Structure 1
Amino acid sequence: MARTDAVLLGIDFGSGGCKVTAIDGSGRLLGEASREYPTYYERPGWSEQEPADWYRAMCGALAQVRASGVDFTQLCAVAFDGSTHNAVLLDGAMRPIRRTIMWTDQRSVEECASLKEKHGERIFEIAYQMPTPTWTLPQLLWLKRHEPEVAAKTKHILFVKDFVRFLVSGVAATDRIEAQGTLFYDMKARAWSRELFALTGFDFAALPELVEPTSRLGSVTPQAAADTGIPAGTPVICGTSDSAVEDYGAGAVEPGDCIVKLATAGNVNVMTASACPYPSTLTYGHVIPGMWYTVSATNAAALCQRWFRDLFGDAEKAEAGVSAGRVFDLMDRRAAVSPAGANGVMFHPYLQGERSPYWDAKLRGSFTGLSIASTRGDFIRALLEGVAFSLLDCYGLIEEMGLPVKRIFLIGGGARSALWSGIVCDVFNLPVAVPSPGDASFGAALLAGTGIGLFPDSRDAVKRCLRIDRELRPDPERAAQYAELFRTYREIHDALAPVYRKRGTASRAR
């Protein structure tokens, strides 16, 4: 029996904010809190974050968890996870040199084209991925070409969760799954690839030590204890990428398990018994040693909802008052009045270009099918449906690969919405289970327990602690309607994609 008096902390750094989850040794949720941090979009297609914002958000979320009554004196361990691909470039004193280029950034299109032409086959052979702007390799190549002074100053490279964990424990390292998100990790050798990293022009000595997600990396320092409220000396466990740990934390620990993620970005991930490299998808190792998972991903999912809230949601924000979370509830209420199909309004969520299945950085978002009769609820419902269609587009790659899918788990902040969850279920026309808590911070907390031996292994931890909150089944009538609407969604993409490519070329020419 796991200790029920033990407190485990998981700290997640997603694309839009930090979430902290505290559980006991049986997986019971003791407390959770989240804080947003900004993303800076200084030019079209650019996406950057300030490393100091991550630490500040974490401290705020931890204070909120403590205030809720969680006894931090009973903390046994803490583990971290974060969005991957995002290199934090540090000087010799471990201070950030510039803002971090995020995985949604699209500036390295030309670098990717060059990498594909000159080294594409070799990169895929070693790293199991094809070059796109998501990856760290082309990002670093862009920096070398456009900001050579940054490359010259860089003495250490970490990634989002690793940098914050370094501030907490003083130990610099990263894990094998995070490393796989760089495009300069050798999948077969399980080591950094000197050959691929040399393409960046950065110093190979800047790369961190590689460890396992459950490895212990020091303890909470006295300074970090003063900042965070976590007792000094608390064991610190490495953790891993948010994608890997949320799949794991949601219970996807067997081949054929499929994750559909409604977070800032959206994913369709399928667990496999062996690596299945494919040029149009991403391939990563699983938290469970020996397992893998295939990723088909869209750049903007709940990000679209947040964007709409920030740009057009003044009415909902005024009605919600101080309750930021209630804004989305009010948006859902307006969307629920609109019927399936949003009275002809359709949304394509390409606010940051698109990854799967198009890998087209020039795509842009759109509302189409508007009429004088279109309502606010139609726009919001079209947004929810458009993201669901984008996820179904991703799922099409999984079907194209012939990967078996046995069960689907729906996760992410968007899964909390009964309306949005139901739309996704109907669009996919498949049964869907919603786990609880089942998110990245919960998975990180389980890694914390495994790392200190509270659980015998990672698979035991999740099977012991995970619970299913609800199970959904599609409505046949709405599913048939959405199948027809999805064909229209694809036709609109096909019609507009050449326009966006032409506009992108014209913009560069000017």
Structure 2
Amino acid sequence: MAAENILTIDNGTQSTRALLFDVKGNLLGKERVVYEPYFSDAPGLAEQHVHVFWDALCQACQGLFAQQIVPKESIAAVALTTQRATMINVDQSGEALRPAIIWLDQRRTEGLPPVGGLWGLAFKLAGASQTVAYLQAEAEANWLRTQQPEIWKKTHKYLLLSGYLTYRLCGRFVDSVGCQVGYIPFDYKTQTWAKKNDWRWKALPMNPAVLPELVPPGSQLGEITAATAEVTGIPAGLPLIAAAADKACEVIGAGCLEPNIGCLSYGTTATINTTQKRYIEPIPLIPPYPSAVPDAYSLELQIYRGYWMVSWFKREFGMREQHVAQERGIEPEELFDELVHAVPSGSQGLVLQPYWSPGLRHPGPEAKGAIIGFGDVHTRAHLYRAIIEGLAYALREGAEKMAKRTGVPITELRVAGGGSQSKAAMQITADIFGLPTARPHIYEASGLGAALDAAVGVGLHPDFTTAITEMTHLGDTFEPDPKNHEIYDQLYRKVYKKMFNRLRPLYKEIREMKNL
């Protein structure tokens, strides 16, 4: 039997999925294991016991194989994609020394000495000192080094979650270039560990030996060990092919290989990405991340707490819809879409700026969320629609910033993530951008992106262009309504784009007030 199927393991913030794909990008089977995203021993901390991730991976694979969808002999390779920026310290035997620090963690290390010397002078002249200081304070490694020195001293390898799971799968301390997203001394331009005299080693002091070997996406990380085969059911000896972090995999899984195609992700963090062959910083001093395609970059702008805001609304204001949905035996999203349709485009002048959680340089650390335009006509339905519209406004602004930086305007959109399942959100996105907006043909876009890497890596497809043509397809496509676009365009240009600069002084005042 020809081995033409791919096993993908997709580790997310709230669950791990084991997925089977064929060479046409069809999802043959799926098993999902859910877990709590994190536990917190103090305000702002987010950690998880490392065994939770490994146990979920084993259970997901065992559950998938128990379905007996295809013979194991038909599987050609395994690929892994994981949540980004979750860090793990391990000893020489690969055992975790402490719980993983999850990407949602908010701990900071204040008072670190700034990067000095010529680098420090260069940053001062470039106006980048605050950016570097922010990186130092946010870096988990600096917190561990200063607050838990005994753990840092025992650390044999300092790994992203992808590197840890790769070690458990194939017994090697190796990771994909495409997974390197975090506060680590990684040179995003060369896509290698930073050179000896690079400023990153001063901002993030560590022994280079604690970092894993890196290989590009599509290359082999190792082979599934006999011990792994016993607890997962994955056949021993199968090649483990390097993929990338979940967001990068989602981009190519949605078919966004060309720079004119924008990939929106409506997840906990809402993002817009494009794939570029050139190193271009989407915002000065903020690097593009590695793509799931070798020697390419994924330009990204983020709206922190993006579609988390939708979950917040449902929790705080949507109990009625959730109860009715349960009674009717339908998904609550159907009723929330009805809320959207109850309100005209533009929410009758209610405009929301979705900066519930600020970024470093987009729009800035002082940013706050805002809603303006309230009147006596407005209801909770208006607020719900304004949330979705505000996220689309922010992502349109990100698309325009990218186009200005790259010289390539975005002419098509693909939307992935949980929010893409809402037809109302898809249509609002198309109307605000004024562009055709499509879903990928399957929801599991990040898993499909990892399967693309594996398919090219083992020669099932000769190159990424062919693999994307063969394995990614358009699902539902939403065309913009010209009348709605005109309404949104006016609100976007005349109101939304002016909100931040007008409100920024007030945001700064709030930030400087104590006990707020």
Q: TM-score, normalised on structure 2?
A: 0.84
SS in 1 for 2:243: strand
Aligned pair partner of 1:308 in 303, 308, 313: 313
Given that 1:173 and 1:209 are in contact with CA atoms closer than 8 Å, whether structure 2 keeps it comes out as: yes
**Pair 1:396–1:103, CA change in 2 (3 A):** farther
Amino acid in structure 1 at the alignment position of 2:170: S
Structure 2 equivalent of residue 318 of structure 1: 323
Distance in 1 (CA, whole Å) between partners of 2:71 and 2:449 is 19
Q: Deviations over 1:193-229 (max 9, x none)?
A: 2442343233321100111222223333444445434
Structure 1 equivalent of residue 491 of structure 2: 485
Structure 1 equivalent of residue 215 of structure 2: 211
- In structure 1, stretches of 5+ residues that fail to align are none
Amino acid in structure 1 at the alignment position of 2:4: A
**Pair 1:281–1:233, CA change in 2 (3 A):** same
Q: Which moved more, 1:261-270 or 1:349-358?
A: 349-358
Distance in 2 (CA, whole Å) between partners of 1:409 and 1:13 is 22
> Is 1:256 paired with 2:255?
no
Structure 2 equivalent of residue 28 of structure 1: 26
> How far did 1:393 drift?
2.5
**Pair 1:110–1:495, CA change in 2 (3 A):** farther
Identity %, equivalent residues: 26
Matches for 1:276-291 after TM superposition, within 5 Å: 276-277=280-281, 278-279=283-284, 281-291=286-296
Q: Deviations over 1:472-496 (max 9, x none)?
A: 2211111122223334334443444
Structure 2 equivalent of residue 424 of structure 1: 429
Structure 2 equivalent of residue 506 of structure 1: 513
Structure 2 equivalent of residue 13 of structure 1: 11
Structure 2 equivalent of residue 76 of structure 1: 76
Structure 1 equivalent of residue 140 of structure 2: 139
> How far did 1:171 drift?
2.3
Given that 1:77 and 1:237 are in contact with CA atoms closer than 8 Å, whether structure 2 keeps it comes out as: yes
Amino acid in structure 2 at the alignment position of 1:448: A
**Pair 1:146–1:393, CA change in 2 (3 A):** farther
Distance in 1 (CA, whole Å) between partners of 2:139 and 2:489 is 37
How many residues are matched? 504
Distance in 1 (CA, whole Å) between partners of 2:235 and 2:369 is 46
Structure 2 equivalent of residue 154 of structure 1: 155
Amino acid in structure 2 at the alignment position of 1:237: I
> Is 1:197 paired with 2:201?
yes
> How far did 1:269 drift?
1.8
Q: Deviations over 1:31-70 (max 9, x none)?
A: 2354364245666665544433333444454456456663
Distance in 2 (CA, whole Å) between partners of 1:312 and 1:15 is 24
Structure 1 equivalent of residue 335 of structure 2: 330
> Is 1:52 paired with 2:51?
yes
Given that 2:80 and 2:242 are in contact with CA atoms closer than 8 Å, whether structure 1 keeps it comes out as: yes
> How far did 1:345 drift?
3.9
Amino acid in structure 1 at the alignment position of 2:85: H
Amino acid in structure 2 at the alignment position of 1:332: D
SS in 2 for 1:267: strand
Q: Deviations over 1:139-196 (max 9, x none)?
A: 3224333443442332211112222232233222112233365452235654312442
**Pair 1:131–1:485, CA change in 2 (3 A):** farther
Given that 2:347 and 2:386 are in contact with CA atoms closer than 8 Å, whether structure 1 keeps it comes out as: yes
Aligned pair partner of 1:445 in 444, 451, 454: 451
> How far did 1:108 drift?
3.9
Given that 2:271 and 2:303 are in contact with CA atoms closer than 8 Å, whether structure 1 keeps it comes out as: yes
SS in 1 for 2:139: helix
Aligned pair partner of 1:387 in 366, 388, 391: 391
SS in 2 for 1:70: coil
Distance in 2 (CA, whole Å) between partners of 1:490 and 1:32 is 42
Amino acid in structure 1 at the alignment position of 2:166: R
- In structure 2, stretches of 5+ residues that fail to align are none
> How far did 1:419 drift?
0.9
Q: Deviations over 1:329-357 (max 9, x none)?
A: 33223222222233444443333323563
SS in 2 for 1:240: coil
Amino acid in structure 2 at the alignment position of 1:454: L
> Is 1:455 paired with 2:461?
yes
**Pair 1:255–1:503, CA change in 2 (3 A):** closer
> How far did 1:106 drift?
4.8
**Pair 1:393–1:224, CA change in 2 (3 A):** same
SS in 2 for 1:97: coil
**Pair 1:92–1:175, CA change in 2 (3 A):** same
Distance in 2 (CA, whole Å) between partners of 1:136 and 1:13 is 27
Structure 2 equivalent of residue 164 of structure 1: 165
**Pair 1:483–1:173, CA change in 2 (3 A):** same
Distance in 1 (CA, whole Å) between partners of 2:244 and 2:476 is 27
Aligned pair partner of 1:242 in 239, 246, 255: 246
Q: Deviations over 1:52-90 (max 9, x none)?
A: 333344445445645666336233222111233332222
Amino acid in structure 2 at the alignment position of 1:481: I
Distance in 1 (CA, whole Å) between partners of 2:122 and 2:192 is 19
Given that 2:265 and 2:417 are in contact with CA atoms closer than 8 Å, whether structure 1 keeps it comes out as: yes
**Pair 1:279–1:183, CA change in 2 (3 A):** farther
> How far did 1:133 drift?
5.5
Distance in 2 (CA, whole Å) between partners of 1:154 and 1:326 is 46
**Pair 1:231–1:72, CA change in 2 (3 A):** farther
Amino acid in structure 1 at the alignment position of 2:139: P
> How far did 1:443 drift?
0.7
Given that 2:6 and 2:75 are in contact with CA atoms closer than 8 Å, whether structure 1 keeps it comes out as: yes
Q: Deviations over 1:304-339 (max 9, x none)?
A: 223333454433443444999923333223222222
Distance in 2 (CA, whole Å) between partners of 1:227 and 1:338 is 52
Distance in 2 (CA, whole Å) between partners of 1:334 and 1:459 is 41
